[in-house]
Structure 1
Amino acid sequence: MELHHIRRGTGKPLLLIHGIGSTWHSWEPILDELAAHREVVAIDLPGHGQTPALPGTNTFLGLTDAVADWLRDEQLEGIDCVGSSMGARVVLELARRGVVGAVVSLDPGGFWEGWQTPFFYYSGAASVRLLRTLDPVLPTITSYTLGRTVLLAQFSVRPWAVPAHRALRELRSIARTSVYDEVLRDLVYGPRQQGLPAGSLRQPLVIGWGRQDRVCFPSQAGRAVEAFPDATLYWFDQCGHFPHWDQPAETVQLILSVTGKQAVAANVPSARTAAG
């Protein structure tokens, strides 16, 4: 299927994949800076933004298959890619399949255990129900610092600093994503993310994590690296679930370093692998 996407800049292509309920607009804090160095291709996943939902049931693997098929159709296999949240798990799966180049995975979902599993599901389900109820008055709520602080506290360490237009776009996107409920359930209770044994990857893979992530807790980072032992773990200080919101300059630096023509995982700037 055709995925709605935008292209910015010139140079070596770089794919950006957003999280559940988001669209390509989620990348706007770093889009222009990345496009100054690369041709950036930012997509809307099926059922998100301007891309129609998949026929039948929309699952995590179904969304990933759609991206893989689209990359093949667009002759973009081997492209470097960056993902956020659910999109971060998508790029891990694409890396596992060997269909992409260098990968930066920012706070990937799917590595929860124990109480974290129902917490993620029920907090996500409750959040989307609240946003659907508030949808008509979201423009007013997000125009106030207090409103943004309350509604974005789970995503950012500085929710009050998120511009009103960005907060409104993100929250309305979550509220209006028709496949949100079925994708959320499958993401949490569907098949677990498979990993790769050490020595399997032929391209750099960095898993980035915000130390103050309140969506995918920092303790999950260790499980992600256990699944992908060839990966380098990079910690963002003073950062929540979206490094590209809370630490945009550092995120751009990391992405360009990891996905540069001569990049290897060992050259990640100031790589921090200590426990979060």
Structure 2
Amino acid sequence: MAGAVLNHIRRGSGSPLLLVHGLGAGWNSWSPILDELAEHREVIAVDLPGFGETPPLSGDISIATLTDSVENFIRDQGLDGVSTAGQSMGGRIVLELARRGVGGDTVALDPGGFWSDREVAVFGATLRPSIALVRALRRGLPALLDSAVGRTLLLAQFSARPWALSRETVLPDVRGLADSPSTGAAMDALTKGPKQEGAPAGTVPGRVTIGWGRRDLVTVPGQAARATALFPDAKLHWFERCGHFPQWDAPREATRLILDNTK
């Protein structure tokens, strides 16, 4: 596999915190909480290969190879032992890093990879049409997301309260779903690749915290039990009245969870 140099931003000062996004905007997915995190930490937020400004991988695109790219970034940047936080696909990637013994404390928000066969089939069958829709509506997305009705129609799968969100909060991720060259390949990796493996008790390098939205319609709440069974050292936190994006629906709570459970 040919590696990709990950585009990234650094903000703030203090102990480093590495942020890994899910499908969508690249590092901009963290914009709702990035500034507050950077008041307390040196935040390093990456664009995964094929998202944001990082070029796609030239070889196989899988959760394993995407995780390899982050592991190589950690090594190349001298970030051994860095605390990590990820959401959705990024949540799965930071858990995979922890399973490999890479990094330090880990916070995974609504991670993928813990579904049953039926749930992953539903995930693919519902999210693929959503991606096709935002691609078809690409030019009109800003105007559509200006409207509370438009946000509700377009984002009900992702947010517990889409009408209450601002266009600025959601537009980067929605536009990223439409524009990112690796969206389709990453969806295939999630839906057709292996499920997430676990880490026996005492084998992860730091604390593991898993946060889950009670109203998540993408990685549904029942999957949290599988995640904590596979990662028995993990602490589970529930976000009430929250969908798949805690940084959208519960930004202050998500920020606090990350800061309180990493060092």
TM-score by length of 1: 0.91
Of 228, 232, 254, which residue of structure 2 is paired with 1:229?
232
Higher mean alpha-carbon deviation, 57-66 vs 217-226, is at 57-66
Determine if contact 2:199/2:230 at 8 Å carries over to the other structure.
Answer: yes
3-state SS of 2:137 partner: helix
Paired AA for residue 218 in structure 2: V
Matches within 5 A, 1:44-193: 44-193=47-196
Distance apart, 1:143 and its partner CA: 1.4
CA–CA separation in structure 2 for the residues paired with 1:96 and 1:230 = 11
1:152 Cα deviation after fit: 1.2
Q: 1:22 & 1:118 partners in 2: Cα distance?
A: 24
Residue 259 of structure 2 aligns with which residue? 256
- Residue type matched to 1:123 in 2? T
Question: In structure 1, the residue corresponding to 2:201 is in which secondary structure?
Answer: coil
Cα distance in 2 for residues equivalent to 1:90 and 1:234: 18
CA distance in 2, matches of 1:147, 1:179: 26
Between the aligned residues of both structures, percent identity stands at: 51
Aligned partners of 1:168, 1:199: CA distance in 2, in Å? 40
| Moved segments of 4+, more than 4 Å | none
Question: 2:243 aligns to what?
Answer: 240
Relative contact order (C-alpha < 8 Å, sep 6+): which is higher? Answer: 2
The alpha-carbon deviation at position 12 of structure 1 amounts to 0.2
Structure 2: unaligned runs, 5 residues or longer: none
Distance across 2 between alignment mates of 1:104 and 1:55: 29
AA aligned to 2:158 is: F
In structure 1, the gaps of 5 or more residues are 261-276
| TM-score (normalised: structure 2) | 0.96
What amino acid maps onto 2:217 in structure 1?
R
Please tell me the root mean square deviation across aligned C-alpha atoms, in Å: 1.1
The alignment partner of 1:198 has SS state of coil
